[in-house]
């Protein structure tokens, strides 16, 4: 039997950069891929339990970016109040993890969530083809996805597209998803390409093949999107087998990855001694990030190395016009591939009622075990 503390974050020096708080396991879909095994018949946890999870997260990691998740969190009748309470605890970046059905049909509801303190949406977005959604989600979600992006735009916030990259299903659509993000760059802040993983929930995909290791996943993204190779960095977020990040600028119809122009030493100097905080600041959004860093000399030293992106001599005007999108690639650990070193360097947590755990450890070992107990 697995130790109850396996994969648990212990506090200062061992904290996630971002964490998820689940408020329901009810859902208005029955996706073939679902790590929580969500269903329409599940029971919502009470407000006291949800508040306990938020307090445990705050005590463990501080007011880091938090994702309000499910199931489908829009089904919880107290979602606006939960967001308000989360904000009252000092969490500044509050993101809704959603399939988009409710917000696409009822934009006024999304406006209410924004008024309560919601700052962003993490939108399930597996592709642009009907066939992809029929296999991964069990129904055609193409119109829901585009309508959701429109609703998010009208609400005045931004979103991240969350892609469950599944071999032989949607691994040919990654370039199209990047282009969709760039076409909607006013609203789409980031795209997170996550290798679909066999956790202890549902994984009912016929002939899914193996998951993707980071090198293969980043290569597919760059190749299909026409991005110069080498722009993904695997040493900025947690373990180098887990996460990769690329900051890509859209310039005159081409996509330019910032990190291909900047030396590793320069990046380290820019991030500074508190690398964790600088990376967290990326989630503030472009305007707030620029206000904090644009007037610092070390920022301009970095930008001068990337003058091919911003013009011969970068200036405030060229930076103001520049449009960028964050691309993330994520490779999860399945039960057979648990690595204690990767767990120790994990950056993504999930808050339970007795602690904050690494996402991979929780979904492979603790989620359904806790229900049995």
Structural domains in the chain, sorted by start: 18-212+331-372 (3.20.20.70)
Which pLDDT tens digit goes with each residue over 264-314?
888 887 777 777 777 777 766 666 676 777 677 777 777 778 877 876 666
The residue-averaged pLDDT of 122-126 equals: 97
For all residues of the chain together, what is the average pLDDT? 89
Distance of CA 273 to the CA centre of its chain: 24
Tokens linked to 22:
């689940």
> What's the CA gap between 59 and 262, in Å, rounded?
36
pLDDT of residue 316: 61
Tens of pLDDT, residues 43-59:
899 999 999 999 999 99
Percent residues over pLDDT 70 in the chain: 92
Residue 241 · residue 213 · CB < 8 Å: yes
Quote the CA–CA distance of 112 and 115 in Å, as a whole number: 5
| CB of 114 closer than 8 Å to CB of 121 | no
Best CA proximity match to 167, nearest among 123, 203, 202:
203
Q: What is the pTM of this model?
A: 0.92
Statement: residue 343 has pLDDT above 60: yes
CA–CA gap between residue 250 and residue 245 (Å, rounded): 16
pLDDT number for residue 373:
42
Q: What is the pLDDT of residues 231-272, one digit of tens each?
A: 999 988 888 899 999 999 988 888 999 889 888 888 887 777
Residue 372 has pLDDT above 50, yes or no: no
165 to 13, 103, 162, 202, 330: CA distances (angstroms) = 31, 24, 9, 15, 10
């Amino acid at each position: 039997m697995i130790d109850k503390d396996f994969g648990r974050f212990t506090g200062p020096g061992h904290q996630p950069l971002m964490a998820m708080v689940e408020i329901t396991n009810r859902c208005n879909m029955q996706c073939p891929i679902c790590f929580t095994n969500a269903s329409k018949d599940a029971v919502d946890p009470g407000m006291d339990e949800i508040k306990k999870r938020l307090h445990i997260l705050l005590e463990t990691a501080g007011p880091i970016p938090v994702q309000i998740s499910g199931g489908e969190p829009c089904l919880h009748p107290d979602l606006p109040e939960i967001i308000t309470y989360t904000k009252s605890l000092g969490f500044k970046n509050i993101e809704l993890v959603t399939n988009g059905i409710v917000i696409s049909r009822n934009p006024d509801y999304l406006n209410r969530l924004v008024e309560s303190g919601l700052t962003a949406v993490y939108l399930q977005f597996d592709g642009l083809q009907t066939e992809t959604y029929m296999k991964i989600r069990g129904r055609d979600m193409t119109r829901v996805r585009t309508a959701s992006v429109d609703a998010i735009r009208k609400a005045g916030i931004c979103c991240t597209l969350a892609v469950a990259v599944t071999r032989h299903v949607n691994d040919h659509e990654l370039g199209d998803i990047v282009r969709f993000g760039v076409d909607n760059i006013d609203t789409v802040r980031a795209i997170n390409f996550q290798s679909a993983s066999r956790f202890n929930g549902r994984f009912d995909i016929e002939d899914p093949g193996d998951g993707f290791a980071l090198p293969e996943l980043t290569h597919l993204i760059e190749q299909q999107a026409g991005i110069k190779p080498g722009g993904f960095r695997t040493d900025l977020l947690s373990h180098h087998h887990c996460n990769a990040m690329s900051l890509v600028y859209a310039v005159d119809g081409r996509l330019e990855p910032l990190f291909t122009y900047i030396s590793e030493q320069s990046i380290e100097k820019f991030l500074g001694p508190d690398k964790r905080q600088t990376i967290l600041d990326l989630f503030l959004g472009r305007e707030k990030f620029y206000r904090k860093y644009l007037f610092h000399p070390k920022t301009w030293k970095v930008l001068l190395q990337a003058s091919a992106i911003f013009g011969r001599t970068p200036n405030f005007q060229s930076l103001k016009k520049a449009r960028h999108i964050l691309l993330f690639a994520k490779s999860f650990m399945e039960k057979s591939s648990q690595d204690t070193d990767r767990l120790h360097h994990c950056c993504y947590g999930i808050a339970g009622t007795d602690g904050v755990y690494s996402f991979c450890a929780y979904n492979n070992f603790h989620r359904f075990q806790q229900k049995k107990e």
